[in-house]
Structure 1
Amino acid sequence: MADEVVLLNSLASPFGMRERITIAEKGIKYEPRDEDLKTKSSLLLQMNPVHKKVLDWFHTNPLLPSDPYQRAEARFWADYVDKKIYGVGKKIIFPSNGEENEVAKKEFIEALRLLEEQLGEKTYFGGNDLGFVDIALIPFYTSFKDFETFGSLNVESECPKFIAWVNRCLQKESVAESLPDQHKVHEFIAGIRKKLGIELSRFRFELNGHSKVPLVILNVFSEYKVWEIKYSTSRFRLGEEKALEGKREDDSQRENMESEVRQRE
């Protein structure tokens, strides 16, 4: 099967790390290929963009719970990770000015502490087993050295319970073998900062959702999201589970939880 499944990935992409962990958790053999995003391979260009239906590949070891409320809750917190950890984390590594850096650091730590509260005394966010939220969050551990070096932010001292969860995740073979070395990620990010060559405050800005990030940085990070898997002649996506029939109920539960979290923040 390894000659039928190909995962295209970029070293520092947390999205690619999520897919590697997911594939490992499901016991799928695959061929990993690192992409040079400056000179994209013919396979990557062939696979993108999508102009036709993408098949779901339903496999064993579901990462989302069967209960509609718990499933909606997991999707909510995974989305929270994208907005508060990935979104705010970019402002720490690529700030426009010192003031934005300080605001981002405060918001980032507040987000981690809320996640600590959500984790509680559980082994993983999914309970006793690694789940959807764990896989969404753990890749950002590889950027902790960047937060410390470029943002003077020591996550270990600020959020010890979060670090304890990280260490539990790293004991899982699927996680330990899927995450790149922090130092390699740091060198990669440092290289990007060096290539920019000027103060980020001199970039023009463009609104990106709920946060303002330099336009040139947006362009760089949009490339990191590119990944694809090829399975025989069909293409499929991972990270979504079956139970699609419960999506409407999930959305309703998610809206309720968003309201609850806004009250807690």
Structure 2
Amino acid sequence: MAEEVKVFRTWSSSFALRVIWALKLKGVEFDTIYEDLSNKSPLLLQYNPIYKKVPVLVHNGKVICESLVILEYIDETWKQNPLLPEDPHQQANARFWAKFGDDKVLQSIVGDVLMKEGKELEEGVLASLENLKYLEEEIRGKKFFGGETIGLADIALGWLAYYLGIFEEILGLILIDQEKFPSLAAWKQEFANAPIIHENWPDRDKLVNKFVAMREAKLGKEAPK
């Protein structure tokens, strides 16, 4: 009997992309259900009543939410092309960098740079560069965060290889400079060039328009009257 594997996602979510990449790296067949988050489907609300967001993985009727949790489930369920190493310490390290990516790197770049202006943006840039320094030190001397192959931390941080360039274009600044962050810049290129990765990037122009609109809406609301 064929397995039921469904992914609820949006066209633009970098969190949902993680799930797509992981399933494709594992060679798992799946169906994609695209959601409009301004008009969420009853199924999405049923499957993820707490957060009401994507991605959601449905595997033979079982529902798994939250992208990092889904990645671990995928790795435990389908053993081929492992995302986590066997060594417990290396596993913990991968989980640490994946969480650091979400809690610190993503928050500082999107929340404190893309969605700010003036002095707040300048402070956000400094905080982002500080966070990127830690990633530069961690990736130095390695092809991927997972070693020679793409692993959990690479997939979690993978948005940097595409979305960051879009943010930089919108803001007119460069965060991952080739001279300051040579290892991180090389990793970005290496990751983005992997066929399964670059074949699944969303349309760049559509993303630019989406994030410009988000930024303007955010700054418009916060602008003094």
Quickly name the TM-score band, shorter chain normalised.
0.7 to 0.9
Q: Write out aligned runs for 1:1-265 (5 A).
A: 4-49=4-49, 56=73, 58-60=77-79, 61-90=81-110, 91-95=112-116, 97-157=117-177, 158-196=180-218, 198=220, 200-202=222-224
**TM-score when scaled to structure 2?**
0.78
Alignment deviations for residues 171-230 of structure 1 (CA, whole Å, 9 cap, x no partner): 222211232233322211122234457253559xxxxxxxxxxxxxxxxxxxxxxxxxxx
TM-superposed CA distance for 1:98, in Å, is 1.3
Name whichever of 147-156 and 109-118 sits farther off. 147-156
Alignment deviations for residues 28-68 of structure 1 (CA, whole Å, 9 cap, x no partner): 11122221111112321231226xx8575611222111111
Measured in 1, the distance between the counterparts of 2:203 and 2:133 equals 25
Name whichever of 40-49 and 81-90 sits farther off. 40-49
Gaps of 5+ in 1: 204-265
**TM-score when scaled to structure 1?**
0.67
Instruction: Identify if the C-alpha distance between structure 1 residues 79 and 196 changes in structure 2 by more than 3 Å, giving closer, same or farther.
Output: closer
Name whichever of 169-178 and 129-138 sits farther off. 169-178
What amino acid is aligned across from residue 41 of structure 1 in structure 2?
Answer: S
Instruction: Report 1 or 2 for greater relative contact order, CA contacts < 8 Å, sequence distance ≥ 6.
Output: 1
Gaps of 5+ in 2: 51-61, 65-72
What is the root-mean-square deviation in Å for CA atoms of aligned residues? 2.6
Please say if residues 85 and 108 of structure 1, whose CA atoms lie closer than 8 Å, have aligned partners that are also in contact: yes
What amino acid is aligned across from residue 94 of structure 1 in structure 2?
Answer: M
Measured in 2, the distance between the counterparts of 1:170 and 1:2 equals 32
